[in-house]
Structure 1
């Protein structure tokens, strides 16, 4: 691992010359001797942290002819007699939104650093103002998302003012759209305004609502591997462990570029065989007399049926190089909202 050290700056902001005083051991007074060289050391530190106060004085004049009073206009960002400036507003927004620092701690930081005793409400006002100014960017982001060939989707629950809401995410490597909605289902996807009009490939975790979307589907195989491992290690179903190993091997072969067409075809055949073995190992549960509703099927049967029904979506990564093996992009993006929720303990309002 390459080491890093603090580098000497060629353009210091301030130079302090340290004068040599006193006398040499022979008695020569150093003040009477010319300087032949300088030895330099640098200290890289923060400047003094204090608010920079700018006072605007608008000129007032009286017309000598008619006595009319005229006054210069104040800048738009100076609406009141005393206010905090845009740099401090941006700083508080960065702390809360970018670094997940709760409102009260943001106010404590600004007070400790700058002596600025702002309120929680001021921080929220700054965030809302930034949100309004980002509306044109959000429109451009949605348009950019719709133009992608592959998008990732995911959702997670979160409490807002004590009530369960849902964060939805639609994303690709360079763009992420977050949507908060009181519903988890299709209404939330319609409100986001991206996936319901998207005709490319949507990578997701096999939640039923996503299958109502008009685009093509690709399922997250990281979820599949975890379910197969549970069936193999905890439920003692060998077919699941073998399918898990076969899937990992074909993925690594495809990732490294050594997968041949013959190997791909052989894997498809083996996939179908193991799924049938899973159905045989988990027979249909018959209805229980005098009990309403359909009988609950075994987890192994449900997984095997899903593999059978959505085989093409699970294995689409083998047919298209732009389709990933998993849904990690959406998982990573939505984790940021979870981290903010965990740090702050929840959201007070929408």
Structure 2
């Protein structure tokens, strides 16, 4: 067998090769320096971490400073007018007396309706005051005093009826109107004089019906096979507390406690362990169900942080794979069981491939370590149609309380958190059954609140 011919490089070719290598090394060193500087500058924000948008430190730019993409103008849409009321309270019919053109007198019999519209306005609302006089005397038989019983719903004590108490609770807890503004609003709009202390007493009287409703809601929650949960901070008398929300497809339960620890959730669950628990990857949310589905929206934020840190291979592929899985989850109602099983197997194989590929960037390696730690909790929703791929609904349930905290700056009493948590539990559960918050709180104060 003949040996291959080895050609020796000339000195000029060697010099050219060395120059090329030196240039390549210089480019690589510059790129490494750029990436190292980038890693040091990347900060966590709401798009790549669990931080809320309020902590991004980036103000919203003025509209005139925003760069809008040039494109085709948005097509016009057909005009839509307000539908006429099916049963108007009053109908005003107007007939012409003469022709506006020639001033000929016309009669109603020769006219037909040419135009119809609704004029809508609010009547003047004033509180209805009922003077209750209870008569009595002294019994001529036994000599003891007696007095007539008060009418139903008008017991002595607070002068404010169920309608006013429902309105106070609804405006404060659903629309975040503070006590001082509530007092001024009712005085200016309805002519009702009510002090801030009277408002507070009205809320404190809600404790008993809220506790009763909370017991029913908790019992309904602890029969659910799938429970999702989340938590956020709140302020109670200047001290940080935690508001937890637990919900299923039939119940929503809020709790405000001093701790964020796992014991807060265990106190609600007791001995009950649902089949599937849905939450983020916070340690206090672990081990509360037989199976755990982590929120893929939270995972995607960590993936985005790895991308922002400079990983251009592992993290982008992981992001695309998780987004594909979430899209499949949204299509589950139209997928057959066999098709969904095939998608689940594909999702597992794809994630295994991403974890088996060695990441070249430190951020990519950190991301792989995080994913491996939660490996068996990513695609539970692909094998069980009841499970959501994200915990977004928990965040939606708790968001009104976050707005309440920002507007009111928390609670200034020890009984306030229980009232707010009970109110959010009642209205959140009622919404699952198609009942508005206003109707739910009216039913609660009226003593007719019940779960279907």
5+ unaligned residues in a row in structure 1: which ranges? 283-298
1:103 to 179, 183, 207: 179
Deviates more, 1:82-91 or 1:137-146: 82-91
- 1 CA distance for matches of 2:323 and 2:137? 81
1:12 aligns with 2:89: yes
Q: Name the residue aligned to 1:269.
A: 349
Post-superposition shift, 1:228? 0.8
Q: Name the residue aligned to 1:179.
A: 255
Post-superposition shift, 1:203? 0.6
Deviates more, 1:255-264 or 1:324-333: 255-264
Q: Name the residue aligned to 1:294.
A: none
Post-superposition shift, 1:278? 5.7
Post-superposition shift, 1:328? 0.7
- 1 CA distance for matches of 2:271 and 2:244? 13
TM-aligned CA distance change 1:269 to 1:129, over 3 Å: same
TM-aligned CA distance change 1:265 to 1:349, over 3 Å: same
Q: Name the residue aligned to 1:340.
A: 404
5+ unaligned residues in a row in structure 2: which ranges? 1-76, 415-452
Q: Deviations over 1:218-272 (max 9, x none)?
A: 1000111121122123332420111111222243245433856555434423312
1:227 to 302, 306, 313: 302
Q: Deviations over 1:190-242 (max 9, x none)?
A: 33x13762232111111112223243111000111121122123332420111
Deviates more, 1:124-133 or 1:77-86: 77-86
TM-aligned CA distance change 1:196 to 1:97, over 3 Å: farther
Q: Name the residue aligned to 2:205.
A: 129
Q: Deviations over 1:124-167 (max 9, x none)?
A: 22223223202222112112112222111111111111100000
Q: Deviations over 1:12-43 (max 9, x none)?
A: 25x67879999x9x999x9xx99647977653
Matches within 5 A, 1:158-307: 158-191=234-267, 193-194=268-269, 197-256=272-331, 257=335, 264-277=344-357, 281-282=361-362, 300-307=364-371
- 2 CA distance for matches of 1:260 and 1:80? 62
TM-aligned CA distance change 1:267 to 1:46, over 3 Å: closer
* TM-score, normalised via structure 1 length: 0.80
**Cα contact 1:196–1:214 (8 A) shared by 2:** no
TM-aligned CA distance change 1:62 to 1:197, over 3 Å: closer
Post-superposition shift, 1:346? 2.2
Post-superposition shift, 1:99? 1.9
Deviates more, 1:62-71 or 1:153-162: 62-71
TM-aligned CA distance change 1:151 to 1:75, over 3 Å: same
* TM-score, normalised via structure 2 length: 0.63
Q: Name the residue aligned to 2:217.
A: 141
Q: Name the residue aligned to 1:285.
A: none
| SS of residue in 2 equivalent to 1:179 | strand
- 1 CA distance for matches of 2:298 and 2:223? 27
TM-aligned CA distance change 1:230 to 1:80, over 3 Å: same
**Cα contact 1:278–1:304 (8 A) shared by 2:** no
TM-aligned CA distance change 1:164 to 1:150, over 3 Å: same
| SS of residue in 2 equivalent to 1:212 | coil
- 2 CA distance for matches of 1:94 and 1:264? 44
Q: Deviations over 1:170-199 (max 9, x none)?
A: 1124421110000000221133x1376223
- 1 CA distance for matches of 2:243 and 2:329? 33
**Cα contact 2:150–2:156 (8 A) shared by 1:** no
Deviates more, 1:258-267 or 1:154-163: 258-267
**Cα contact 2:340–2:382 (8 A) shared by 1:** no
**Cα contact 1:165–1:181 (8 A) shared by 2:** yes
Post-superposition shift, 1:52? 0.6
- 1 CA distance for matches of 2:97 and 2:349? 89
| SS of residue in 1 equivalent to 2:292 | strand
- 2 CA distance for matches of 1:99 and 1:266? 46
Q: Name the residue aligned to 2:376.
A: 312
**Cα contact 2:266–2:288 (8 A) shared by 1:** no
- 2 CA distance for matches of 1:267 and 1:76? 62
